[in-house]
Amino acid sequence: GGLSDVTEALSNQGYTQTIFNRKFGDVAASEAGYENYTSAVDSAKILRDIYANNGYKNMNWDLTKDGITLPKNAKVYAHRGQGIGGAYNIFAIIEEDETKYGVAVMSAHTGTNNEAQGISVPMISDILLEVHRGMTGY
């Protein structure tokens, strides 16, 4: 199937705010107004379902390569996306002992990918540290 079939299949799975209108990285399609969309709600659902099916073990982007500070003593499974228009997104599962949280941080139109990363990295580091602090109490 095509992109509309992917969007329909996702909608049938409960991801009703995720729409694919172009292939990833297709700059010409983006410039013509064809964009992919999702929401924080759908991202959280997807992370929940990925975790439930052990798919998180395939989320292996090392966020420290981007300068993100990870919480001490936590295992972080992550996926990073850098999109057209300066988007910089991370989707992560933070795990320590028996406690697990999913975190999605999405940004758009914050400049070039390097500028977006520079703007987002300190914020993402702070978010991950705060989530971990809330998980563990320290």
Q: List pLDDT tens digits, range 27-72.
A: 899 889 998 888 889 998 999 999 999 999 999 999 999 889 999 9
CB-count exposure of residue 2 (10 Å: 0-12, 13-18, 19+): exposed
For residue 105, pLDDT over 90 is answered with no
Whole-prediction pTM value? 0.80
Other Cβ atoms less than 10 A from the Cβ of 59: the count is: 18
Percent of the chain with pLDDT over 90: 55
- Contact at 8 Å (CB) between 92 and 70? no
C-alpha 58/C-alpha 87 separation (Å) is 22
User: What pLDDT is stored for residue 49 in this prediction?
Assistant: 94
